[in-house]
Structure 1
Amino acid sequence: MTLFDPTTDLEINRLLQASPAQIWRCWSDARLLEQWWAPKPVITRDVVIDLRPGGRFYSVMDVPDHGEMAGEGCFLDVVPERRLVWTDMMEEGWRPARAEFFGFTAVITMEPEGSGTRYVARAMHRKPEVAKQHADMGFYDGWGTVITQLDALALGM
C-alpha cells in the first residue's frame, strides 16, 4: 500500500459485506458503476471503463441544481479484485490532462476479510490546500455514501 500522507491524502477504510469479486464486478462494468458512482439523486451516465494501465476512465454526472459534470481520467494500475489506481491528471494513453478538476490520484484496494472485503479508498493530492478543498466539498460524505451504495449493489448480485 502507498504510504499515507495526512497533509495531502483523504482516506476511507471500511469493511464491506460483499466479496472482492462482487465489488470488482461493480467497478468493472460501466452499467453497474452508473448505479452507485454518485450519491443519489445524482445520475451517472456515459461511463467508459478501459481497465488497463493507460486506459480511459470517464463519466458524466448530472447534478441537480448544478448541471453536468464530466470526469476524465487514466488508469495507472489495475489488479483484478485487489487494486485500482487512476488519476485525473492524465487522460487515456498517458496524455497530460487538458482540464483539471482537483488534480488527484485515487487508490482503491480490496482485500478479503472474513466473508467480506476490506475496502480502502484514498485520494492523494499534490498540495494540502487541494486536499482541504476536496474534503470541504464533501469527500467523506460523498465517497462514504457511494461506498455504501457500492456494497448494497454488489450484495444484491
Structure 2
Amino acid sequence: MTDAYDLSITRLIDAPVETVWRGWTEHLADWFCPRPWTTEIVELDLRAGGRCALILRGPDAEENALEGVYLEVTPYCRIVSTDAFTAGWVPQTPFMTRLDEFFEEHGKTRYTATARHWTAEARDSHAAMGFETGWNAAADQLEEVVRRL
C-alpha cells in the first residue's frame, strides 16, 4: 500500500539479498549520500530503539547532521528509521520515516527505499530538494558497493 505522503525508489539489484543487506548495513558510509558528498557515521546501532546519527558533508564545507532512531530492523528484509525521535525516545520535530526493504526476486534483490512524510508540504519539499535524483544516485552507489562484495 502506498501512502499519499511517500516518495520512493525501487530497483532490481543483481545480487542475493544477503549481499545487498551487507552492503547496506556494513558499508553505509560508502553509498548513503550522492558524491561528492560524504557520510560520517557517528553511531549506527542497528536494532529497534537504536540510535542512527550521521553527518553528511558537502564539497563546499556544507554539513547536514541527521539524528534518529531505528523502529524496526528485520535482518535481510526491512529497516525502518525515523527522525521523529532521538535516542531514548526523545521527541523532536519530525521530517520523515525511512523504510528500506529487501525482497528476493529470482536470485536478485528488489530494493525499495521509501521516505514517508507527515504532511504533503514535507513530501513536496523533499521532492523539490532533489529526492529522486539524490536517492537514485545513492542506490547506484549501493549497487557499486554490492558488486565489490
For Structure 1 versus Structure 2, the TM-score category normalised by the shorter chain is over 0.9
| 1:21 counterpart = 2:18 | yes
Correspondence for 1:78: 73
Query: Could you list the runs of 5+ residues in structure 1 that have no partner in the other structure?
Result: none
Structure 1 residues 66 and 4: CA distance shift in structure 2, 3 A: farther
The CA RMSD measured in Å over matched residues stands at 1.4
**Offset of 1:111 from its aligned partner?**
0.5
**Which of residues 54, 62, 85 in structure 1 aligns to 2:57?**
62
* TM-score normalised according to structure 2 size: 0.94
Correspondence for 2:36: 41
**Offset of 1:137 from its aligned partner?**
0.3
Correspondence for 1:12: 9
Offset from partner CA, 1:68-121 (integer Å, 9 cap, x none): 111001000010010000001111232212xx4x61001111001122101111
**Offset of 1:57 from its aligned partner?**
0.8
The amino acid across from 1:43 in the alignment is: T
Distance 2:130 2:64 in 1: 16
Runs of 4 or more consecutive aligned structure 1 residues displaced over 3 Å after TM superposition = none
Contact 1:45 1:59 in 2 (8 A): yes
Distance 1:66 1:5 in 2: 35
Correspondence for 2:118: 126
Contact 1:34 1:47 in 2 (8 A): no
Contact 1:45 1:61 in 2 (8 A): yes
Identity percentage of aligned residues: 38
Correspondence for 2:108: 116
Correspondence for 2:127: 135
Distance 1:59 1:154 in 2: 21
SS at match of 1:133: helix
Aligned length: 149
**Offset of 1:64 from its aligned partner?**
2.1
SS at match of 2:88: helix
The amino acid across from 1:68 in the alignment is: E
Contact 1:81 1:110 in 2 (8 A): yes
